[in-house]
């Protein structure tokens, strides 16, 4: 999926919502445990409830890998069920070099190889350009590079400064932008500080950001829209547990929470999106 198609979907739905499918058998309603594939049955219920409010789905791959072969089967069925026009993110946070990186890319991007056909994958940049470049060789696929995350430990490295006082996250972003363009690369940017949102948008004016941290982690959706929205919107704001585990009746509660976020996003698109 290219950026034009993604922006068109954002505009038509009045939403830049990404729903995280972090499906945990210990957290889903017990009624799903009676199904032959509880994970897929739960994901299907979430997708049916939220697809008209969201523009992206983001399975967190760890939740599927932890289940072994059955988890991969659930992931494959989930991917096959997601409507084709909705953007998909493999939240895998891979990071390795050479042939290994290419095999990771092939796993999530090449349906002839693995059966999976994600639009994008999250990648850790710590090993440098040769750990990212193999992902960029796949046409119409996206790398979503970890840049400034919202977890407490992010300050251990991401905010550290060298002798020229430039923080590491900024170095990562500026260098990564020489590896791939705004049609190939997005950045993961945490939502917890409005001043950082403003700064990263200045660094990367044309790139899409995948933004976690709204809601439970303290980030403000309005701050994200006000300080980080671009002329192409440039935002995918993720909500996982706040939607998929919002109540015991998954169909009702997921739809309610997704609709609530979509309505707020529509308001901010009208207010802050300068086309």
Q: How confident is the model at residue 225 (pLDDT cuts 50, 70, 90)?
A: very high
Dihedral of the alpha carbons of 31, 74, 136, 8, in degrees to the nearest 10: -50
159: tokens are: 């905010």
Percent of the chain at pLDDT > 70 equals 92
Question: Which has more confidence, 218 or 135?
Answer: 135
pLDDT at 160 over 60: no
pLDDT for 268 equals 98
Confidence of residue 151 (pLDDT cuts 50, 70, 90): low
> Is residue 157 very low, low, confident or very high in pLDDT (cuts 50, 70, 90)?
low
CATH number of the domain bearing residue 32 = 3.20.20.70
Q: Is the pLDDT of residue 44 over 70?
A: yes
Q: How confident is the model over 238-272, as pLDDT tens digits?
A: 999 999 999 999 999 999 999 999 999 999 999 99
Q: Report how many domains make up the chain.
A: 1
Predicted pLDDT of residue 238: 95
Residue 260 known to be catalytic: no
In terms of Cβ atoms closer than 10 Å to its own Cβ (0-12, 13-18, 19+), residue 34 is exposed
Average pLDDT over residues 87-115: 96
C-alpha dist (Å) from residue 223 to 155, 213, 254: 21, 12, 24
Which tens digit of pLDDT belongs to each residue from 65-75? Answer: 999 999 999 99
pLDDT reported for residue 214: 82
Burial class of residue 148, CB neighbours in 10 A (0-12, 13-18, 19+): buried
DSSP string, 53-99: T-SEEEEBHHHHHTTTHHHHHHHHHHHHHS-TTSEEEEEEEE---HH
- Whether 77 has a pLDDT exceeding 80, the answer reads yes
pLDDT of residue 148: 75
Which domain, by its residues, includes 79? 3-272
How many angstroms separate the CA atoms of 197 and 227, rounded?
Answer: 6
pLDDT of residue 154: 54
Output the pLDDT for position 194: 74
- Range in 37-41, 73-77, 92-96, 158-162 the model is least confident about: 158-162
Residues in the chain: 275
- In this prediction, residue 153 has a pLDDT band, given cuts at 50, 70 and 90, of low
The DSSP secondary structure of 214-233, one letter per residue, reads: BSTTSB-HHHHHHHH-BTTB
Give the residue, 219 or 104, on which the prediction is more confident.
Answer: 104
Q: What is the reported pLDDT for 216?
A: 59
Q: Which residue's entry shows tokens 């954002």? A: 10
Phi-psi region of 244 (alpha: psi -120 to 50; beta: other; left: phi over 0): alpha
173, 201 in Cβ contact below 8 A? Answer: no
Q: With bands split at pLDDT 50, 70 and 90, how would you rate the model's confidence at 192?
A: confident
The one catalytic residue in 13, 70, 93, 275 is 93
> Comparing 123 with 159, which gets the higher pLDDT?
123
SS3 of 175-188: HHCCCCCCCCEEEE
Give the pLDDT of residue 57.
98
């Amino acid at each position: 999926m290219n950026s034009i198609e993604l922006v068109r979907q954002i505009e038509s739905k009045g939403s830049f919502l990404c729903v995280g499918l972090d499906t945990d058998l210990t957290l889903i309603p017990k009624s799903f445990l009676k199904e032959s594939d509880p994970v897929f049955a739960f994901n299907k219920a979430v997708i049916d409830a939220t697809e008209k409010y969201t523009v992206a789905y983001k399975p967190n791959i760890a939740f599927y890998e932890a289940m072994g072969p059955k988890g991969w089967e659930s992931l494959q069925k989930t991917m096959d069920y997601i409507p084709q026009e909705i953007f998909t993110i493999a939240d895998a946070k891979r990071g390795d070099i050479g042939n290994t990186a290419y095999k990771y890319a092939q796993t999530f991007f090449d349906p002839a190889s693995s059966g999976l056909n994600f639009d994008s994958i999250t990648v850790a940049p710590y090993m440098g350009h040769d750990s990212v470049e193999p992902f960029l060789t796949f046409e119409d696929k996206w790398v979503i590079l970890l840049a400034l995350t919202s977890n407490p430990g992010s300050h251990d490295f991401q905010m550290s400064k060298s002798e020229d006082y430039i923080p590491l996250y900024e170095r990562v972003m500026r260098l990564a932008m020489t590896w791939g363009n705004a049609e190939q690369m997005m950045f993961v940017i945490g939502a917890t500080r409005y001043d950082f949102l403003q700064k990263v948008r200045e660094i990367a004016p044309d790139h899409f950001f995948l933004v976690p941290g709204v809601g439970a982690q303290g980030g403000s959706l309005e701050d994200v829209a006000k300080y980080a929205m671009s002329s192409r919107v440039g935002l995918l704001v993720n909500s996982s547990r706040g939607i998929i585990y919002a109540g015991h009746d998954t169909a009702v509660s997921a739809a309610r929470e997704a609709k609530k976020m979509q309505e707020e996003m529509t308001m901010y698109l009208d207010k802050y999106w300068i086309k």
